[in-house]
Amino acid sequence: MAEFSRISIDQAHAALADDEDVAIVDLRDAMSYKARCIAGAINLNNDNVRNFLAATPRDRTVIVYCYHGNSSLNAAQFLVQQGFTTVQSVDGGFEAWHQRYPQD
């Protein structure tokens, strides 16, 4: 079985800049997502996870983030269990991203 990997915010930033076919998934609550998110992120939640699973090719790279990089670990494992082959969890989450890349 495939495993997810943990990546730094710098690695995630580079991956998003280099590959337009990366799915970036935000696990935070809807208010936080609406207030600010990483460009192109999908706010994944219990209401839309089935649609995401149905619409996203399993060979597409999926980068997952949450607030601090903890909840995204479980979500990354879930996505691997659903058949995604390349899943990455962002260490430090959105809070670290926002500190490092405040303009993004």
Per-residue model confidence as pLDDT tens digits over 37-76:
999 999 999 999 999 999 999 999 999 999 999 999 999 9
Enclosing domain of residue 13: 5-100
List, for residues 27-38, the tens digit of each pLDDT value: 999 999 999 999
- Looking at the structure of the chain, the number of domains it has is 1
Q: pLDDT class for 25, splitting at 50, 70, 90? A: very high
Cβ contacts of 41 within 8 Å, gap of 6 or more: 24, 25, 26, 33, 65
Q: Among the options 24, 41, 63, 66, which is catalytic? A: 66
- DSSP assignment of 13-76: HHHHHH-TT-EEEE-S-HHHHHH---TT-EE--TTTHHHHHHHS-TTS-EEEE-SSSSHHHHHH
66 included as an active-site residue = yes
Average confidence (pLDDT) over 18-33? 94
* Structure confidence at residue 74 (pLDDT): 96
List, for residues 1-16, the tens digit of each pLDDT value: 579 999 999 999 999 9
* Structure confidence at residue 1 (pLDDT): 58
The CATH number given to whatever domain includes residue 25 is 3.40.250.10
